[in-house]
Structure 1
């Protein structure tokens, strides 16, 4: 097993140890309140959760976001996650395919996703330094419906063997122009700021995955792999999920917006949609359910998410995701003040 493959297994182990049941305070979603409609004048059967991800129809506005792949062990996880996606009709993104693009031995751990779920919506995942030609190979490997390009400067700088050059814009543009599927630019846990959103609006990309702080923290994970654990001071780096979403409402007008980072409950999903997200990615929580329990429990959990989200939408008087995106909400004074400061950034 090479270093990159070994790192994939380390990431799963460390992410599992890091998982916390309650993260609403770190995502700042606890500071968001949905305004109830006391007389909603709708019933549960009126609610429609269908939406699209990367232009593809799905049964729910949340999906299994990028996690893993690259080794036999993570390939088994990918097969189970793909089974859950197939059984529930939701989309799924793979972890970074970079290792598979360098090693043929790692390819089956990603290809298994499409083999398991031949008719589902599958998103590929590559780094921003991948060549356009190789990016298309990543798409072809899993017959992806869309391609996530992850931007992860903080993780790379913390990673003992990480990259140190982050001039990405030109290559992201080239990838988006060359691959035959929509491209989504994805952060991995530190959120996306107003300046970057303005830049992304000028690039030929279809969407942005905000990857806000509050969920799996790859700075903590990579610092745990450093011999002296000397970069813990960066563990609170970045913008939270709620902060990133509220900023994106103003600066991502030309992009579809995916909310990720610390999503643990159907209420979190509803709040993200009300804050303007087009869809919501869930990674760590679903992985936790799968590893701690089993595949059957994960499938049941996803179906429970659907049912509970419908109930929340009834309480808001919303029949569709589009209506929920326009639902009223309240912010804590502290979060409102943070957003007002962020909106002044030029």
Structure 2
């Protein structure tokens, strides 16, 4: 049953990916263009550092799958793409391995095909400390993602209905394991209040994983006989909204959920993310074509991120957080309701000072 469910997830996720190519709230974020802010391409670095973790690029292949022969083959190709492009990669939920150790190789392949890469294990918030350590050991993980997913569990026919102990269990796992712990949503977003609670649980990083990409509430509802939880479709906050909500939280934040292209990556970095993950978009490319095409896509994205940094005058991904941004439409309404100062975002750069230095003029 677990293997069949994993295959169902891939099939239903791909149906969503092919259906949702339109607007999401990343489109409500635009850069203020400063025509003389650009720098030289050799001065640009893609490297990012957060919570003691160093990656050569601010992009990663986020949690997807594992637990069946079909998904094991997918993980092999994803690991190959990570190896060839130098990206970090996360496993899908390893709960299937805890229930059936015979599927171990469908996850282990992430390490065997990518022996020197940065690999993250993934467990749910109900995992025991022993199982969390088993997951880390199986793939020799450099970090542990703990996913929180009440909006997925609720319509899931066999889903969890007891959420009250999740925070306590996250704290136990974080205290017991030696690798950094990352708490991530699965597509419904992390609010500011949630992120602020994480350091007290021993969590080192938050992955907001907002609405806009794969909708797991919709997937689980599609597995129900009556599909009677349609009201949970599109539940939660978008990734862009989560990043705006997380301004100055004091905890490194990663962005995933609805990332469609290199511009969305750069928007996320400018909104404060330390790195940006993609799942559905990469999986769609792999299944529609092949691993070579996915490698080409990732390489193109990295080149385009560097090009946008050059144009915007950001020598590093972190410097993008000083670029001026405008927030539009429904996302601006969200900011108004949450007390987020959009005027400050639009006036935060030193670009005007830079222009005066370049032209020799004075104010």
Query: TM-score scaled by structure 2?
Result: 0.90
CA distance in 2, matches of 1:194, 1:286: 28
User: Which residue of structure 1 aligns with residue 349 of structure 2?
Assistant: none
Shift of 1:6: 1.2
Which of 195, 198, 212 is 2:196 aligned to?
198
1:49/1:310 contact within 8 Å kept: yes
In the superposition, relative to structure 1, how do residues 93 and 224 fare at CA in structure 2: closer, same or farther (>3 Å)? same
Matching of residue 221 in structure 1 with residue 219 in structure 2? yes
Which of 93, 97, 101 is 1:100 aligned to?
97
Which of 280, 286, 297 is 2:293 aligned to?
297
Matching of residue 211 in structure 1 with residue 209 in structure 2? yes
Unaligned runs of 5+ in 2: 341-363
Stretch deviating more after TM superposition (101-110 or 52-61): 52-61
CA distance in 2, matches of 1:248, 1:24: 25
Matching of residue 270 in structure 1 with residue 263 in structure 2? no
User: Which residue of structure 2 aligns with residue 14 of structure 1?
Assistant: 12
1:75/1:110 contact within 8 Å kept: yes
Query: TM-score scaled by structure 1?
Result: 0.95
CA distance in 2, matches of 1:23, 1:185: 27
User: Which residue of structure 2 aligns with residue 160 of structure 1?
Assistant: 157
Shift of 1:59: 2.1
Residues 247-298 of structure 1, C-alpha deviation per residue, up to 9 Å, x if partnerless?
Answer: 0114x31x21110111010000000000000110100000000000111000
The 5 Å alignment of 1:8-87 reads: 8-20=6-18, 23=21, 25-26=23-24, 28-52=25-49, 55-87=52-84
Shift of 1:136: 0.7
1:280 aligned counterpart, secondary structure: strand
Residues 68-99 of structure 1, C-alpha deviation per residue, up to 9 Å, x if partnerless?
Answer: 00011101100100000000001000100111
Matching of residue 138 in structure 1 with residue 129 in structure 2? no
The 5 Å alignment of 1:123-134 reads: 123-134=120-131
Q: Which runs of 4+ in 1 moved over 3 A?
A: 20-24, 52-56
2:120 aligned counterpart, secondary structure: strand
1:33 aligned counterpart, secondary structure: strand
CA distance in 1, matches of 2:327, 2:20: 20
2:38/2:311 contact within 8 Å kept: no
In the superposition, relative to structure 1, how do residues 152 and 104 fare at CA in structure 2: closer, same or farther (>3 Å)? same
Larger Rg: 2
Matching of residue 328 in structure 1 with residue 353 in structure 2? no
In the superposition, relative to structure 1, how do residues 53 and 114 fare at CA in structure 2: closer, same or farther (>3 Å)? farther
Matching of residue 112 in structure 1 with residue 93 in structure 2? no
Unaligned runs of 5+ in 1: none
Shift of 1:315: 1.6
1:136/1:180 contact within 8 Å kept: no
2:72 aligned counterpart, secondary structure: helix
Number of equivalences: 339
Residues 303-340 of structure 1, C-alpha deviation per residue, up to 9 Å, x if partnerless?
Answer: 00011111111121111112112211111154223123
1:194/1:342 contact within 8 Å kept: no
CA distance in 2, matches of 1:137, 1:195: 31
2:92/2:122 contact within 8 Å kept: yes
Shift of 1:34: 1.3
CA distance in 1, matches of 2:216, 2:322: 33
RMSD (Å) for aligned C-alpha atoms? 1.5
1:36 aligned counterpart, secondary structure: coil
1:54/1:146 contact within 8 Å kept: no
Shift of 1:103: 1.1
Residues 41-75 of structure 1, C-alpha deviation per residue, up to 9 Å, x if partnerless?
Answer: 51222210011366332221011000000011101
Which of 227, 242, 256 is 1:260 aligned to?
256
Stretch deviating more after TM superposition (131-140 or 17-26): 17-26
